[in-house]
Amino acid sequence: MTAETAGFTELHEELREVARDLLGRTAAEAAPDWRAIAGSGWLGLEAPEPLDGAGATFAEVALVLREMGRAAARGPYPAVAVLGVGALGLLESSPGRDLLFRETVAGTAVPAVALEGEAVEGVPFRIGRTARGPLLYGTAAFVRDAPGADRLLLPALDPDGTPVVVEAAPDAPGLEVAEQPVVDETRRFGLVTAHGVEARPDAVRRFRGDPKAAVRRLHERAAVAVACDSLGLSEAMLEATVAYAGVREQFGRAIGSFQAVKHACADMFVQVKVAGKLVDGAVRVQAEGRDDGGVAAAMAKSYACAAAVEVAGKAMQLHGGMGYTWESGVHVHLKRAVLNRALSGSPAAHRGRLAERYPPLARERADA
């Protein structure tokens, strides 16, 4: 290990400890205090230093996300740090964008990015040229933390078909945000509808570089972020199950000494290890800001989120009757795991994207 990576590892270890401590102090059924989150610097990890950020990378954000999954934490941090900061970072600098960036880092603005919750690609809104000037139309379902947001960033196609982002206040005329309650009580979603929202030029923000690539990057970030969450919650479920199986006795011995239970735990461990490798790989590509992150993101999202459902389900099973009670809390992780699996594209949708590469590969091999 080089001195540089050793220092890096130390930094990550510290960040992990702080996160575990802060999230551990949060009361059950409450979101961690937003001022504490802002004060910890987590919102500005990826923001550039001139905009009060830390100039760190997605790798550090991923670490916080994993801890949040582990704790099944509530609140809009993933929506703001992954999509909000992500979108702002991909936009051209302008006074309006820079101001919102600063406010977001400080925790005084809580933006939501209106991407369709289940989508793996695409832009939900469009700007139409009308007699009343440019107006925004469209809907996005299951927009992460839209109900509590005080600013909405709406990805849209401008009249020329170029992806842009329109900034709007939630109470802007023509804009509607309806809460969509879900079984997983740790999450909030909103149905965002725009029927003719004024899109003044100063509220329309353009992407730096290739706008289509920027939209793709946003979706990839969203997918990898959910994979981090699922990995964290899988780790928590594995640890809880191993601890329980080590102390719970039946037939005169710890249930973890029975092969049926032990081997199930071993399978959970293997799944967590594989998920960890795939998530690490996907996070690395995002942190390096590479354009070829789609494959790693699809693999991490599809595997880690499917594995988390199996791991949390096995956790409930191995906790026995106790695991099925509300009090045990295993259900919180299981519900979050199944929600994560659907969020930002199902495993099948992501595998479908991977499979687009196979026909050319098959032809290439047949020709060789």
In the complex, the residues that contact other proteins under the rule CB under 8 A are 1, 238, 242, 245-246, 253-254, 256-257, 259, 261-263, 265-267, 269-270, 273-275, 277-278, 280-281, 298-299, 302-303, 348, 350-352, 354-355, 358-359, 361-363, 365-366
Q: Which residue is it, tokens 């919650």? A: 233
Residue 11 or 274: which CB sits closer to other proteins? 274
Integer Rg of the chain from CA: 22
C-beta of 260: minimal distance to other proteins in Å?
Answer: 10
What gap in Å lies between CA 193 and CA 203, rounded to an integer? 17
Considering beta carbons, is residue 8 or 269 the nearer one to other proteins?
Answer: 269
Minimum CB separation of residue 13 from other proteins in Å reads: 15
What is the rounded distance in angstroms from the CA atom of residue 225 to the CA atom of residue 64? 10
Cβ proximity of 298 and 223 under 8 Å: yes
CB of 120 to other proteins, least distance (A): 13
Distance of closest approach, residue 166 Cβ to other proteins, in angstroms: 35
Q: Which of 141, 145, 151, 143 is nearest to 171 (CA)?
A: 151
Contact between 228 and 279 (Cβ < 8 Å): yes
Name beta bridge partners: 164: 156, 206
What is the distance between the alpha carbons of residues 183 and 331, in angstroms, rounded to a whole number?
Answer: 10
Amino acid letter, 61: V
* Residue (40 or 302) nearer to other proteins, CB: 302
Question: Is-contact 231 69, C-beta < 8 A?
Answer: yes
Q: How far is the CB of 32 from other proteins (least distance, A)?
A: 29
Nearer to other proteins, 169 or 355 (CB): 355
Question: Would you say 213 or 266 has its CB closer to other proteins?
Answer: 266
Task: State how far the Cα of 101 lies from the Cα of 260, in Å rounded to an integer.
Answer: 52
Indicate the residue among 20 and 363 with the shorter CB distance to other proteins. 363
Contact 279, 231 (CB under 8 A): yes
> Nearest CA to 85 among 107, 101, 96?
101
Based on CB atoms, which residue is closest to other proteins, 213 or 354?
A: 354
Q: Residue 253 Cβ, how far from other proteins at the closest point, in Å?
A: 6
Kindly state the smallest distance separating residue 12's Cβ from other proteins, in Å: 16
C-alpha closest to that of 221 among 340, 81, 70, 45: 81
